[in-house]
Structure 1
Amino acid sequence: MYFQGFVIPVKTGNKPAYLDGTKRVSAIFAEYGALRTVACWGEDVMDGKVTDFKKAVQAKDDETVVLSWVWWRDKAACEAGTAKMMAEDRMKPDGALPFDGKRMIYGGFEVSLDTKGGGRLGYVDSVVASVPNGNRQGFVDHATKAAGLFQEKGALRIVEGWGADVPDGKVTDFKRAVQAKDGETVIFGWIEWPDKPTRDSGMGALMQDPRMREMPPAWNGPLAIFGGFTPIFDTANA
Structure 2
Amino acid sequence: MAYIEGFVVAVPAANKEAYREMAAKAATLFHEFGVTRLVENWGDDVPDGKVTDFKGAVQAKPDEVVVFSWCEYPDRATRDAANQKMMSDPRMKEMGTSMPFDGQRMIYGGFETILIDKGGDEPTGYIDGTLIAVPSANKEAYRAMAAKTAPILREHGATRVVESWDDDVPDGKVTDFRRAVKATDDEKVVYSWIEWPSKEARVKGWEKVMADPRMEFTMPFDGQRMIFGGFQPILDV
Give TM-score scaled by structure 2 length: 0.96
**Aligned-partner Cα distance in 1 for 2:209–2:165:** 25
2:86 corresponds in structure 1 to 85
User: What does the per-residue CA deviation read over 1:93-150, in whole Å, with 9 as the maximum and x for residues that have no partner?
Assistant: 4553211000000010000000133421000001101111111111100001110110
Q: Which moves more between the two structures, 164-173 or 88-97?
A: 88-97
Residue 223 (structure 1) aligned to one of 222, 225, 237: 225
Matches within 5 A, 1:93-172: 93=94, 96-118=98-120, 119-172=122-175
**Aligned-partner Cα distance in 1 for 2:117–2:9:** 26
Alpha-carbon shift at residue 219 of structure 1 (Å) = 2.3
**Aligned-partner Cα distance in 2 for 1:136–1:92:** 37
**Aligned-partner Cα distance in 1 for 2:162–2:54:** 18
Give TM-score scaled by structure 1 length: 0.96
**Aligned-partner Cα distance in 1 for 2:200–2:32:** 36
Matches within 5 A, 1:137-216: 137-212=140-215, 214-216=216-218
Q: Which moves more between the two structures, 115-124 or 78-87?
A: 115-124
**Aligned-partner Cα distance in 2 for 1:160–1:93:** 33
Q: Give the SS at the match of 1:115.
A: strand
1:67 corresponds in structure 2 to 68
Percent identical across equivalent pairs?
Answer: 50
**CA RMSD across the alignment:** 1.0
Alpha-carbon shift at residue 183 of structure 1 (Å) = 1.2
1:51 corresponds in structure 2 to 52
**Aligned-partner Cα distance in 2 for 1:133–1:6:** 22
1:2 corresponds in structure 2 to 3
User: What does the per-residue CA deviation read over 1:184-229, in whole Å, with 9 as the maximum and x for residues that have no partner?
Assistant: 11001000000011110010111222221x2232222110100000
Q: Give the SS at the match of 1:206.
A: helix
How many residue pairs get matched? 234
